[in-house]
Each structure stands twice: as C-alpha cells, then as structure tokens.
C-alpha cells in the first residue's frame, strides 16, 4: 500500500495554531478538543490511538485525563517536537506510517483531518487498517473537511493567499461530504453512531470576540441535536467497530 509523501507542515504546527495562531485558527483548533471532551468525557478510558497525531496536542490532552495514549505520525519533525514537548509516563509517540503501525487493542482511535490526505481508495484502506487496531467494541472519532459547506471557498482563499502549504490537489487528495463519508466508514466496517459538523460561523466570530466565538461553538458541541446538522465546515464521525474481525 502506497502512502502520500510526508506533508510539508512544520513539526509544531498544531501546537502553534492552537496557542499562538490567528484568532480564527485558535478557535478552529480548540473546538476539536472541546468536541472530543463532549463525546469521550474528561477522563476517557484507554488505551487510545491518535492516528496522524501531528505535533501531539490532541494526544497530550487525552493523556492528561490519565489514559494510556499512543500518537503516531510519519512526520519526523512533528514526532520530535511532540516527544520534546509532551513527555508523560502514559504518553508515547511513534514515528511511522499509519499503515506500518500494527499495535492492536485500542479502545478509542482519533483520526483528525487525516483521511483527506489520501486518495479515496487508500483512505478506505486506512480506515480498515484502523479498524484492525481497535479492541472489540472500540470507538473511532474522525474529522475531515466538509465539501458540502463553505469549506471549498475557505480552501481556495487559503491557497490564494498562501496562508498554508497548498491544499487543493497537493495536501487534500480526497473530498468528502456527509454521504460520501458515511459510505466510506460503512465500507471499512465501522458502525456510524453519530455524524455531524462543527466549525461553521463560530471560529470567524473570534475576529470580534473570542468569548462570543467560544460560547457560540459550545452551544453546538454540547447539544447533540445541533451538532448532528451537517452544513458546517468540518465533518465529524463517531463510530463503533463493527462485525467480527
């Protein structure tokens, strides 16, 4: 199975975006941690796999609740940064392609904005591979940009203004909408428990008031009836490992 080249993203990207980025960027990244806590609770049971962990921000947040966490990423600079920054006895970082990582028995797997970096067929293969890493009844929390939202315009703006390494056609090799994501997960033997979206208008309110943006997003993330609407810019899926191995 081939994998895409290591992305040209600085090793500290997610940490810097969360703590020191543009106000919209900070709120965008903070919302992911807030939704994870809403779904998993403040002290999720481990072991947990953070697949495509980047600079380790999410891994560290999960480990802070006491669970044993393994973060895996193919970017050596990101893994070096994570190991240097987030040393904990219950947190381990592994430099490896996700397809080469073969440990099993994880009660929860998180995979944030990763599958879009693979061609469609390989994205499905990756989700099947992650299914094999899960313990019986294990859960998957996944996010990916929603191309049935304003995201295509946001992506085009980011590319036009060179605010990130080029996304369209270079970093983002697959495009997902709610229906396509649901079919992909079903084909990879994951039972979909909840499909929704977040990071719609709220992050952009941070240009006016960080507190207003946080309150607006919290009203969505903590309310299942609101968050399962699928018009916002970032899709999420909450799944359970399905079938027999």
Chain segment 57-108, per-residue pLDDT in tens:
999 999 999 999 999 999 999 999 999 999 899 999 999 999 999 999 999 9
Chain segment 132-154, per-residue pLDDT in tens:
999 999 999 999 999 999 999 98
Q: CATH code at 228?
A: 3.40.50.150
Does residue 132 fall inside a structural domain? Answer: yes
Does residue 4 fall inside a structural domain? Answer: no
Does residue 212 fall inside a structural domain? Answer: yes
Domain that holds residue 67: 13-241
Does residue 209 fall inside a structural domain? Answer: yes
Does residue 1 fall inside a structural domain? Answer: no
Is the Cβ–Cβ distance between 67 and 90 less than 8 Å? yes
Does residue 6 fall inside a structural domain? Answer: no
Does residue 124 fall inside a structural domain? Answer: yes
Question: What's the rounded Cα separation, in Å, for the pair 82 and 237?
Answer: 26
Chain segment 8-64, per-residue pLDDT in tens:
688 998 999 999 999 999 999 999 999 999 999 988 998 999 999 999 999 999 999
Does residue 8 fall inside a structural domain? Answer: no
Q: Is the dihedral of CA 169, 171, 175, 177 positive or negative?
A: negative
Total domains in the fold of the chain = 1
Determine the 3-state secondary structure of 232 from DSSP.
coil
């Amino acid at each position: 199975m081939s994998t895409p080249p290591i992305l040209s993203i600085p090793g500290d990207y997610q940490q810097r975006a969360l703590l020191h980025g543009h106000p919209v960027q900070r709120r965008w990244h903070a919302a992911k941690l807030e939704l994870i806590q809403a779904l998993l609770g403040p002290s999720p049971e481990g072991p947990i796999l953070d697949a495509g962990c980047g600079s380790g921000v999410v891994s560290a947040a999960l480990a802070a609740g006491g669970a044993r966490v393994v973060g895996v990423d193919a970017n050596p600079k990101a893994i070096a940064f994570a190991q240097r920054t987030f040393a904990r006895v219950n947190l381990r970082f592994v430099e490896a392609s996700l397809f080469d990582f073969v440990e099993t028995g994880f009660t929860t797997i998180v995979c944030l904005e990763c599958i879009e970096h693979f061609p469609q067929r390989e994205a499905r293969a990756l989700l099947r591979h992650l299914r094999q890493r899960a313990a019986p009844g294990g859960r998957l929390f996944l996010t990916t940009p929603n191309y049935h939202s304003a995201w295509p315009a946001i992506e085009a703006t980011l590319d036009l203004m060179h605010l990130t390494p080029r996304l369209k056609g270079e970093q983002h090799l697959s495009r997902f909408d709610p229906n396509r994501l649901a079919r992909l997960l079903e084909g990879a033997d994951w039972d979909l428990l909840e499909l929704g979206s977040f990071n719609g208008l709220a992050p952009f309110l941070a240009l006016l008031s960080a507190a207003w943006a946080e309150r607006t997003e919290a009203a969505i993330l903590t309310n299942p009836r609101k968050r399962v609407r699928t018009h916002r810019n970032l899709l999420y899926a909450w799944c359970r490992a399905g079938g027999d191995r």
